[in-house]
Structure 1
Amino acid sequence: MPTAARLGAAALAGALLAGAAAPALADTATPSPSSSAPASSSASASSAPASSASPSPSSGVPAGLYGKGDPQYDGVWRQSLALIALQQEKVEPAGAAVQWLLGQQCEDGGWPSYRAEGTPCTPATEDTNATSMAVQALTALGGHQQPVTRATDWLRAHQNPDGSWAYNPGAPGDANSTAVVLNGLLAAGLDPASVSAGGRSGWDGLASFQLGCATPADQRGAFLYQPAPGTPAAADTIASAQALLAAAGGHLPVTTTDRKDAPPKALACDGGQGTGPGTGTVAHADSAEADAAWLTARLAADGQHLTAKTPGADTPTPAYDSTAWTVLGLVAAGHPAEAASAADWLAGNAFPWAAQGKDGTNPAATATLVLTARAAKLDPYNFGGANLVQLLIDSGPKPESAPAAGDPQATRAPGSAITEPDENSGFSAGWLIGLALAVGVVVVVLLSLNRRRQKAASPADSAPAPDAAADTDDRPEQTR
């Protein structure tokens, strides 16, 4: 069945051949990214909304930082994601961008979300999410073993006795932070089974948030954000999405793994297993499959993307971040087939999340989509018609070097990844120019053939009969 993009391409070609103005094709506006943030109490930097009352840095956004928005809550997070994504695409970032990230590290090895230049480190402001993402960025870049080791030592020193990690050290652990820390440890080559506190490993800490057989069937395999006394355990979308990559033993950037032929297996329960969250009832060997099965069911129920209900909203809205993390986790868990439709949905719908926020390009969102596209074997240089790599490059300091063009093996057909007929695609400027040039070549060839035909005709042949002079239907098609 033709996609909207292919039908649009045909219409555009027809318009150009007819000499008519081509219609502008672009993504339809979708809700603001902030309105789709999950209604979770998670403090994860990837999902926590910035306070509208937060002050902007007095010195403005640093020159080496990606993005123009206030970095107070996500400076290190978005910088790290940007560096990981650009490194994956063989873009050598500006030295100032790397130095800015290195300069944010505190002497004890941890990173805060952001600190203005000249501001001393405060241990209370250091967080595990920023530190773990910085570890993944510096590991991907290579050549930064000393700061990476200091950071992993800091993470090990702030593990909770139950094996988990909190956003800020000293607080109760949560699934999001624990998962992101495990991503960092895995990127640095550390086995979470050997990182422990109080006799509980990192895997034990993650398992403490997974819902097992004692919970309702439609919750099993998912992760809750954090147990709350007196509150029934409930699946949390962003927690489940971020936990999957860690449960699968993965980190950023996501690389190809062994592909499983069968869909993910739901948690097998015989009616007598487990006593609820916090008891480690879901074995580590079953963790990723159970979570993947729950997330796959949620994708199918919500139209191949995840949704979340924000406070005060009557209906759920698209959760772009959760959907992207789910794609990354499914690929890492060996289920790219189950991730494909969600990646297609992002290609058709996530451009406003990446590029149309109040501060313009959102580097964290854009970088996440670059990583998601590549993991799903789509083209980040033409993701639903958008060149995400260039968008990310343009949001920060000029890189030292970058490929002259996108991946030569990648698709160049705008919207070709989109399978749903009503999704938006947009068209890249390069594709439009190429189409116009192709049309121009056809016109030149036709005109040349017409001239040859006219030149070969005799004067007698070329003079129309008096009674046929007005019969233009007998003239060649090209001269009408």
Structure 2
Amino acid sequence: MTTARRSAAALAASAVLGMAITSAAAPAAIAAPSPIPSAALPPGLYGKGDPTYDGVWRQSLALLAQDTAGVKPAAKAVAWLTGQQCASGAFASYRADAAKPCDTKLPLDSNATAAAVQGLAALGGQDAAVKKSAGWLKSVQNADGGWGYNPGGASDANSTSIVIGALAAAGEKPEGVKSKGGKTPYDALLTFAQPCGPKNGGAFVYQPKQPGIVADSTAAAVVGAHGQGLAATAGAKDAKGTACEKTTAIEGAAHNGAAYLATALAKTGHLNTPPMPGASDPAEKPDFGNTADAVVALSAQGLGEQAKKPLAWLEQNSAAWAKESGPAAYAQLIFAARAGGADPKGFGGTDLVAALNATGPAPESSAEPKKAEAESDSGSDSGSGVWWVAGALFFASVGAGILISGRRKNRQQ
């Protein structure tokens, strides 16, 4: 999940939303935000890169990761995030002038809103903001039970999954959040689950007609299927191993998704990403963000053994990527280390927590990190907060359509 993908996805979503609007809750007109110079960055924001497409996202992940590591963020960092919230409870990707009320032309972002809910809920003391955002998310739920990147857009696996994590973090029971048609978020997730077979067998696609980066949407959906979020914890051991099985239940689909990821990671220990459209180098490159998310997903499913190899690969190879990419990248690695049982303060020779802290205002205090305890029953934890989103968003031209994948690229520095 990296910021270039999120930037591309946000542009694509703004460009095509008019063709995808299916809900009266969507604004009548959407204007894509304009990038801003880094010199204008507010002091409470983590990262030095342009926040236009990922400001709320990277701030939310940074605060959530700090909380899991026992760090109390700076008050101005929390205030910056709460100040981004619209009166409706929604968040856009970024608002340069937070003193100005949100208008109908502002592209609201379900993923940024869901990430903010998870971050603020973990910190505590933000009940009103969390409740208002959760209420907005429920108000823009699609008829199929899921969510799109922007309200009114077709549901996708990534957005639906990160919203599940937000609802759980806000104290809701995701299975009880139903659309007007009586569909739950898990009903929507099942529509993205692929049957066992040679092509994407067991995986979750971004959308049925637009597969996207399948490992990305699969990692998100596996965590979401367990009612967890970005900072998901390890589940009880999955005794079924990595065999794909015929199923119509969300629990079986989660197992199959994790089995798909385990198989994809088995050879090299990492996932790959195709080049961005128009890139001069056509070769695939290692995908650090999605590999980190896959570690979280495998751990949540109870496939801790299968998570060891990619976690070790990240320890050996991710330092330069995280340094270049910034706060959200450090947060993803912290989530992976925590879920996989590694020490985020000694991750391949890097103190991820200290490195994250250095990308923004100095935290108020630091204590012992919160433990990522394994579940004692089914491996699910409906009371935990992402997913992710998370993850990285990616778009590419596919036929006549534009493909949006569900997570973000952490290019911020």
Measured in 2, the distance between the counterparts of 1:374 and 1:42 equals 29
Structure 2: distance between partners of 1:287 and 1:153: 28
Q: Quote the residue 1:249 is aligned against.
A: 227
CA contact 1:57–1:116 (8 Å) conserved in 2: no
Please tell me whether residue 163 in structure 1 is matched to residue 177 in structure 2. no
Amino acid of the residue matched to residue 250 of structure 1? Q
Give the residue type in structure 2 aligned to 1:192.
P
Structure 1 stretches of 4+ with a deviation exceeding 6 A read 40-45
Q: Distance in 2 between matches of 1:55 and 1:326?
A: 30
Task: Tell me: CA distance 1:103–1:57, structure 2 relative to 1, closer, same or farther (3 Å).
Answer: farther
Secondary structure at the counterpart of residue 163 of structure 1 = coil
Equivalent residue, structure 1, for 2:353? 389
Q: Indicate yes or no: 2:266 matched with 1:300.
A: yes
Paired residue secondary structure (1:318)? strand
Report the alpha carbon displacement of residue 126 of structure 1 after superposing the two structures with TM: 1.3
Over residues 128-165 of structure 1, what are the superposed CA-to-partner deviations in whole Å (9 max), with x where a residue is unaligned? Answer: 10110111111111121111111111011001111110
Within the candidate set 176, 199, 203, 2:182 is matched to 199
The amino acid of 1:292's aligned partner reads A
Decide which of 257, 260, 265 is 1:291's aligned counterpart: 257
Q: Deviations for 1:216-254, whole angstroms, at most 9, x for unmatched residues?
A: 4342211111233xx7x6772211121111112222322
Match of 1:462 in 2: none
Larger Rg: 1
Distance (whole Å) between structure 2 residues aligned to residue 58 and residue 366 of structure 1: 20
2:45 touches 2:360 (CA, 8 Å); kept in 1? Answer: yes
Deviation, 1:282, is 3.4
Q: Determine the structure 2 residue equivalent to 1:99.
A: 79
Give 1:374's aligned residue: 338
CA distance in 1, matches of 2:187, 2:208: 15
User: What is the one-letter code of the residue matched to 1:238?
Assistant: D
Give runs of aligned pairs for residues 5-404 of structure 1, distance below 5 A. 55-57=35-37, 60-117=40-97, 118-123=99-104, 124-197=106-179, 198-213=181-196, 216-228=197-209, 236-268=214-246, 282-301=248-267, 303-310=268-275, 311=277, 312=279, 313-357=281-325, 362-403=326-367
Q: Distance in 2 between matches of 1:292 and 1:392?
A: 28
Aligned-pair distance for 1:262?
Answer: 4.7
Query: Could you give the per-residue CA deviations for residues 408-427 of structure 1, whole angstroms, max 9, x where no partner exists?
Result: xxxxxxxxxxxxxxxxxxxx
What's the CA shift for 1:265? 3.7
- Letter in structure 2 aligned against 1:89: A
C-alpha displacement of 1:54:
5.3
Partners of 2:91 and 2:113 in 1: CA distance:
5
Q: Return the offset for 1:211.
A: 1.1
> Cα offset for 1:286?
0.6
**Closer/same/farther in 2, CA of residues 168 and 381 from structure 1, 3 Å limit:** same
For 1:376 and 1:140, the matched residues in 2 are separated by 20
Question: Residue 168 of structure 1: SS of its match in structure 2?
Answer: coil
1:140, 1:261 → 2: CA distance? 31
Query: Measured at CA, do residues 364 and 235 of structure 1 come closer, stay the same or move farther in structure 2, by a change above 3 Å?
Result: closer
The corresponding residue for 1:441 is none
CA–CA distance in 2 between the matches of 1:44 and 1:245? Answer: 26
SS class of match (1:389): helix
Distance (whole Å) between structure 2 residues aligned to residue 41 and residue 169 of structure 1: 14
Q: What SS is found at the alignment partner of 2:72? A: coil
Is the 1:139–1:148 Cα contact (8 Å) retained in structure 2? yes
Q: Deviations over 1:279-334 (max 9, x none)?
A: xx732121110100111110014x01111111344221111111111111111111
For residue 312 of structure 2, give the secondary structure of its aligned residue in structure 1.
helix
Retained in 2: the 8 A contact 1:222–1:235?
A: no
* Helix, strand or coil at the partner of 2:321: helix
> Aligned partners of 2:11 and 2:176: how far apart in 1?
26
Return the offset for 1:339.
Answer: 0.7
Q: Post-superposition shift, 1:43? A: 8.1
Matching residue's letter, 1:367: A
Alignment check: 8 A CA contact 1:223 1:236 kept: yes
Q: Is the 8 A contact 2:233 2:296 kept in 1?
A: no
1:174, CA displacement in angstroms?
Answer: 1.2
Deviation, structure 1 residue 406: 8.4
Say whether the 8 Å CA contact 1:219–1:235 is kept in structure 2.
no
- Secondary structure of 1:307's aligned partner: strand
1:125 is paired with a residue whose SS is coil
Distance 1:122 1:392 in 2: 33
Q: CA deviation at 1:200?
A: 1.1
RCO higher in structure (CA 8 A, sep ≥6)? 2
Q: CA RMSD in A?
A: 2.6
The answer on whether the counterparts of 1:41 and 1:225 sit within 8 Å (CA) in structure 2 is no
Residue 189 of structure 1 deviates from its aligned partner by 2.4
* CA distance in 1: counterparts of 2:314 and 2:136, whole angstroms: 35
Contact map agreement 2:71 2:369 (CA 8 A) in 1: no
Letter matched to residue 121 of structure 1? C
Structure 2 partner of 1:8: none
Measured in 2, the distance between the counterparts of 1:247 and 1:147 equals 25
Report the residue type matching 2:366 in the other structure. Answer: A
Q: Which residue of 1 aligns with 2:386?
A: none
Matched residue of 2:159: which SS? helix
